Structure 1
Amino acid sequence: MKLIIEENEQKMSESAMFILLGAMMQDKRVNIFLTSGRSPKILYEMMIPHVKDQEKFKDIQYYLFDENPYIDEEHGPNWNEMQDLFFKEAHIPNERIHIMNQDNWQDFDNDIRHAGGIDVMIIGLGYDGHFCGNCPRCTPFDSYTYCIDFKEKQAVNPSYKDRPRQPFTLTMGPKSLMRVHHLIMIVNGKEKAEIFKRFLDEPIHQDLPATILKLHPNFTVICDQEAASLINPENYKRI
């Protein structure tokens, strides 16, 4: 794992953007995973002018790695949020955006392998240590993409609020992420400092499922100084 601590959220986002744009410059079909949420907001704002209507990026394929489908609706909240955060402003056509749904999730991993695999993936660190849709105490560490009933997640995480219109979660599991060529986690803000320290210091365990990602062979973690405020960077330098 390579840890990069940047001065602020702007610098963190800039570093992540350079990695993404570098991967996107390859002379082939490039597949990238993007995340919704608060952490990548500035990253996407910075990327849009570089990507919008650029012929050199016409072969880029975008994937979303989890979804909480609404009953009787075509798209869930992750699709909708990513449209607002990035895809609409960057003029990314829907046919180049791939997301799992009730019909295709069982074939999602094989479809990605047949498309050449994922070149680079951006993820965040959840406030409770979750990643993608992999939540505490209900993440099968030996899983590829899977479906989980929301009530099962709620039973072991009582703080999760009811979602009657979203009865289940579809998500890529840990084994799916281990296939990604370059995995990048971005973490920012003081409110993430405690869970970030735990993620770095604790062994792999179900109460903090993101710890499993430390096994990834090409894993870069980029954070700002606020998120790193409780750690001593010297403890995480490579020997």
Structure 2
Amino acid sequence: MKMVIARDYADLSRTAADIVLGEMLHDRRVNMALTAGASPAGTYEIVTERLRGNPGAFSDVHFYTFDEVPLAGRERGLTLSALYEHLYGPGGVPEANIHPLTVADHASVARELHGNGGLDLMLIGLGADGHFCGNMPYATRFDQETYTYELKDSYPWYEDALRLLPDPTEVPSHVVTMGAAMLAKVRRLVLIVSGAAKADALAGMLEREISTDFPATILRTHPNLVVVADREAASRLG
């Protein structure tokens, strides 16, 4: 594992963007899965500027969605909608290069991905409760490449999840996600962590016993994990 401590969020964003753009410039098909959410917003501002400026240089880059929360009556789920808003749309990514993960056909998406060489890079964030992608505490399967699970109100994070929905009254029945077995095959796994609110989670990821109660603990077993954290997020590390 390689740890990079950035000065601040802007420095973190530049570092993450350099990693993502460097991977995109291979002279072959490149497959990557990039996180939604607030953490990568600064990274995507840099990446989309480069995509718009020289689209031909990135025509062989394909994007796979690593988790999804379906939204009632909408073609795009929560994750895909955010990626279109912050990356695919502003960056002018061709539709043919975007590969959504869905509840109905997640296994076939995984097979198609492996048939095209597997994931070269995955950029993920870290939840304060120790989740990554859609691998949530008490719902995670470490043994699956992709899987779905029922969204139950008994989960301790359920109410927080509802606040992420555009309409909290329209609650999806299931979540779909890539699991730890898929992440183990990614050639380069990049975790970005920003802000003091994530300091305990980052320390827990590195120090706690590996458990589905705190799913991110499995990340430190990856043979090519790069953690990019700003100073606030890294404040609890020894």
Q: TM-score, normalised by structure 2?
A: 0.92
> Tell me, which stretches of 5 or more residues in structure 2 are unaligned?
163-167
CA drift of 1:137 comes to: 1.4
Count of residue pairs the alignment pairs up? 230
Matched, 1:115 2:111: no
| CA–CA distance in structure 2, aligned partners of residues 98 and 159 of structure 1 | 27
SS at match of 1:148: strand
| CA–CA distance in structure 1, aligned partners of residues 85 and 128 of structure 2 | 22
AA of the residue aligned to 1:160: E
Alignment of 1:139-154 (within 5 A): 139-151=140-152, 154=153
| CA–CA distance in structure 2, aligned partners of residues 82 and 170 of structure 1 | 16
Matched, 1:73 2:74: yes
Q: Given the superposition, is the C-alpha separation of residues 10 and 158 from structure 1 closer, same or farther in structure 2, using an over 3 Å criterion?
A: closer
Structure 2 partner of 1:92: 93
Given the alignment, which residue of 224, 235, 238 partners 1:229?
235
SS at match of 1:160: helix
Q: Given the superposition, is the C-alpha separation of residues 167 and 191 from structure 1 closer, same or farther in structure 2, using an over 3 Å criterion?
A: same
Note the aligned Cα RMSD (angstroms): 1.4
Structure 2 partner of 1:15: 15
Sequence identity percentage: 36
Preserved contact between residue 103 and residue 175 of structure 2 (Cα < 8 Å): no
| 1:101-141 deviation line (CA, Å, top 9, x unaligned) | 13321212211100111111100001210011011112111
AA of the residue aligned to 2:139: C
Structure 2 partner of 1:25: 25
Matched, 1:138 2:135: no
Q: TM-score, normalised by structure 1?
A: 0.92
| CA–CA distance in structure 2, aligned partners of residues 158 and 62 of structure 1 | 28
Deviating above 4 A after TM superposition, structure 1's stretches of 4 or more consecutive aligned residues are none
CA drift of 1:159 comes to: 4.7
Structure 2 partner of 1:192: 198
Structure 1 partner of 2:40: 40
Preserved contact between residue 145 and residue 171 of structure 1 (Cα < 8 Å): yes
Bigger shift: 211-220 or 155-164?
155-164
